[in-house]
Amino acid sequence: MTSRSPDPAAGSPPGTPPDPAPRTSPVPGRPAGPGAAPIAPSGANLSTLRDHNAAAVLALVRAAGPAGTSRVELARESGLTAQAISKIVHRLTGDGLLVEAHRGASTGGKPPTLLSLVPEARWAVGVQLGRDTLTVLRADLTGRAAAVRRLPIDLAAWGPARVLDLLAEQVDLLLSGLPRADVLGVGVALPGPLDQHAGVLHQVTGMRAWDGLPLRDEIARRLGLPGLIEKDSTAGVLSGLGSPNRAFVHLDQGLGAGLVLGGAVQRGARTNAGEFGHQVLDPAGPRCRCGSTGCVEALWAAAATPEAAAGVLGEALANLVRLLDLDEIVLGGREVLDAPEVYLAGIRRVLTARLPDPAWQSVTVSVAPSGPDAVALGAAGLILARVFG
């Protein structure tokens, strides 16, 4: 990732082998394969939720919204027996996660009791470590941000110790007065590359002091809460619901893309998918601080006007849409939020020009509704995703 005023001297040349970064061991008892990023078992009250069926039931109740749903409906939708549903609901209600809200409409016999989620029963913390801004928020079980704190930082110059001290302090303030047992964990999103499974950072451009840092375990150690880490762009794509084939493009001193294809988040072999900014559009173009030349990011950074920058991004997105057959692009990050109409118009214009049949290959382009909170909200969503299965 680079800024729109890149320092060509910074960063490592392409093809540089990854650091022999220290690897952390998987949490005992949990698989370490893709999609099984561990939540350390410290602190949070996850015992009930580790049950797959309970997680499925909880997800169904959440999907029903404030209107609630009945035990009969839950049995029908989950395929579980009425007896199993009854047991699970009893446990979840006892844990304060569900409440018997009210009685539904009768269809002749006794009207069913409707169950609904208690959003404030548990909390997930979402953190975005931006290059110059720290965002920390607390999300309820529905994924709504209940409190947000934002502070200036200098990720590269300060180094891990100072930044993580501040992060811990801010999380403590955010959780002040709440029992730690009600906090499910802390998701942290930041620029890649990183190994999401191992929870370790890898040669983040311009951030040598962070290379090889076992950030996930460091978060867990400092906060006494389970931690997860994620690339900022991938967290962004988890910040809201949308098409099963969509990209979240993060523009904040750099370009990255988080991908959902066929309804599943795509992280790739090393959880490093989405290095969208370093696809080469013009080998004879300006040098990128990744060491290559003519990367999208370098062309975007060198663009003379926001309109031209939006045009460069549009070209790269047209490639992405054609490669992956996406039908939705969500834009986030400060550069976009500073000039949303310019980016929306520029990207739509290029997509219409580049796609062979733009009417058939219709692509929705929008700005993330959660604005500057999108990435941190997606980081909290990582924690919630473990709860709802």
The nearer residue to Zn ion, 235 or 288, going by C-beta atoms, is 288
In whole angstroms, the minimum distance from the beta carbon of 206 to Zn ion comes to: 12
Q: Which stretch binds Zn ion (CB under 5 A): 46-54, 119-127, 236-244, 280-288?
A: 280-288
Tell me which residue of 373, 380, 330 sits closest to 143, measured CA to CA. Answer: 380
The radius of gyration of the chain's CA atoms, rounded to the nearest angstrom, is 22
Determine if 233 is a binding residue for Zn ion (CB under 5 A).
Answer: no
The nearer residue to Zn ion, 43 or 286, going by C-beta atoms, is 286
In whole angstroms, the minimum distance from the beta carbon of 193 to Zn ion comes to: 12
Could you tell me if 375 and 236 are in contact, meaning their C-beta atoms sit under 8 angstroms apart? yes
Q: Write each residue from 132 to 161 as x if it is in contact with Zn ion (CB under 5 A), else as -, in one continuous string.
A: ------------------------------
In whole angstroms, the minimum distance from the beta carbon of 264 to Zn ion comes to: 27
Determine if 301 is a binding residue for Zn ion (CB under 5 A).
Answer: no
Determine if 278 is a binding residue for Zn ion (CB under 5 A).
Answer: yes
In whole angstroms, the minimum distance from the beta carbon of 301 to Zn ion comes to: 10
Determine if 290 is a binding residue for Zn ion (CB under 5 A).
Answer: yes
- Two tokens at 14? 């392409």
The nearer residue to Zn ion, 320 or 385, going by C-beta atoms, is 320
Tell me which residue of 86, 263, 62, 226 sits closest to 144, measured CA to CA. Answer: 62
In whole angstroms, the minimum distance from the beta carbon of 15 to Zn ion comes to: 12
Q: Which of 128, 135, 292, 370 binds Zn ion (CB under 5 A)?
A: 292
- Two tokens at 114? 């409707």
d(CA 229, CA 215): 7
Tell me which residue of 173, 164, 336, 169 sits closest to 251, measured CA to CA. Answer: 336
The nearer residue to Zn ion, 212 or 291, going by C-beta atoms, is 291
Strands 113-117 and 98-103: antiparallel
Our CA angle for 209, 214, 218, nearest 5°, is 100
Determine if 250 is a binding residue for Zn ion (CB under 5 A).
Answer: no
d(CA 280, CA 82): 57
In whole angstroms, the minimum distance from the beta carbon of 387 to Zn ion comes to: 37
Q: What is the amino acid identity at position 154?
A: D
d(CA 169, CA 165): 6
Q: Which residues are at the interface with Zn ion (CB under 5 A)?
A: 278, 288, 290, 292, 295
